[in-house]
Amino acid sequence: MADYDNGYKMLFSHPEMVADLLQGFVHEDWVSQLDFSTLEKVPASFVGKKMRKRESDVVWRLRWRGGERWLYVYLLLEFQSTVDPFMAVRVMTYLGLLYEDLIRRDHLNGASLLPPVLPMVLYNGNARWDAAQDVAELLEAVPGGLERYRPQLRYCLLDEGRIAVSELESLQNLAAALFRLERSRGPEDVQRVLEALLKWLDAPALSELRRSFGTWMREVLLPTRVPGADLTTLTDLQEVRSMLAERVIEWTREWKQEGFEEGLQQGLQRGLQKGLQQGLQQGLQQGTEETAAILRGILFSKLEQRFGTLPDEVRRRLESIGSVEDLAELVSRSGTVSSLASLGLS
C-alpha cells in the first residue's frame, strides 16, 4: 500500500485539501474559529531513529482567529487501509514525539504551554473500523486510586466507508471528491467527479493541486478502475477526461456486445426467441440514458472550452439527442471541427 499512502500524502500536502477535510468532515464548533489562510506544512521529522518513519505522515499547523497570541493547531494525519487495534497507542507515541520535537527546536515561541493537537486517522478499508479511539479504552480496569494515572488520548476517526454517498455528493469539497473517486466502480462514476474537479480547480493558483490529482488518478485510481487502458501519456486532468470519454464509448460497445451474448445464451437455455429478446433489451436498454447523459456532459464541456457559452438553441438540440452512438460521434468530432455549424448544431 506504499503507493496509495504516498498518493494521499501528495494530495494532503496541499492546504486546500486540509482545509476542506476539516471544514467538511470535522463537525465540531471550534473548527469555525480556525484561520485557514494560515495553514502551514510542518516537516514530519519528529520520529526517532529507532522507529520506522511512516512515509504517509503529514503534519500541518494553523492559527486560531483573533486574539493577541496565536495558538497553533497541529494536524497529524494517519492513512490506514486495515484496522489497527492499537492505533490509539501509536497516535499517543507520535504525539509525544511531536511535542518533544517542538520543545527541542524551540518552536513554542516563548509560550509556557504546548499547543493542542488534532490527531486524525483516515481509513478507507472495506471492514468497519472497530478499534478503540481512546488509549484509555485499551487499559485494564484499575483500583479507584490508580484511576487518576490512566492516560487518555483520543484521535479523530474518518471512516470513509461510513460516509453516506448523498453527503459526499452534496458537498463542493475537494476531500469529498477524493472520497467519491475512492468509492467509484467504473469510468462513468469517475467521469462525474472529474467534471466537478475540473471546475473547482480551474484557477491558476490551483494548478499544482490539479496536477497532483492527475498524478494520483494515473498512478493509484485508474489502474484498478479502467484496467488495460494506456495511462502512460496522462499528465493532467484534462487528458484523464479525454481518456475516460473514449473509455466510456468503448465500454458502451463492449457492454452492448455482452448484452447480445447474454441474450443469445438465455435464448439457448429458455427458448431462442424469448431469451434473445430479453437479453437484448437488458443489454441495450439498461443504462443507456445514464451513458447518454455522461456523453452529453462531456460534449457540453468540450464545446464550451472551444466556442464559449453555448446558445440556448444549441443546448436544446443536444439535450434532445438520446442516441449513445450519435453523442459518441459528436464527442469524437468536437475536438477538430472549426464551428458549431460543422456539427450541425447551429
Q: Which helix (H) or strand (E) is 196 found in, with range?
A: helix 187-200
Q: DSSP readout, 63-94?
A: EESSSSS--EEEEEEEEESS--TTHHHHHHHH
Main-chain dihedrals φ then ψ at residue 76, nearest 5 degrees:
-105, 110
Q: What is the DSSP letter of 236?
A: S
In 10 A of CB 315, how many CB atoms? 16
Grid coordinates representing 164 are: 453516506
Residues 6+ apart with CB under 8 A from 41: 13, 15, 58, 59, 60
Question: What is the CB-side half-sphere exposure of residue 304 using CA atoms within 13 A?
Answer: 13
- Note the pTM of the prediction, 2 decimals: 0.71
Grid coordinates representing 278 are: 430479453
Burial of 9 (0-12, 13-18, 19+ CB in 10 A): middle
Strand residue runs (E) in the chain: 34-42, 58-64, 72-80, 117-123, 156-159
pLDDT by 10s per residue, the chain, length 346: 446 667 888 899 999 999 999 999 999 999 999 999 999 998 766 655 545 555 557 888 888 888 655 555 566 666 666 788 999 998 999 889 888 888 888 777 677 788 888 988 888 887 889 999 999 999 998 887 888 888 999 999 999 889 998 899 999 999 999 999 988 877 778 888 999 999 999 999 999 999 999 999 888 888 877 777 778 878 788 888 887 777 666 655 554 555 545 554 655 565 545 544 554 455 445 556 767 777 787 887 778 777 878 888 888 888 888 887 788 878 877 777 778 888 877 6
Contact 261, 282 (CB under 8 A): no
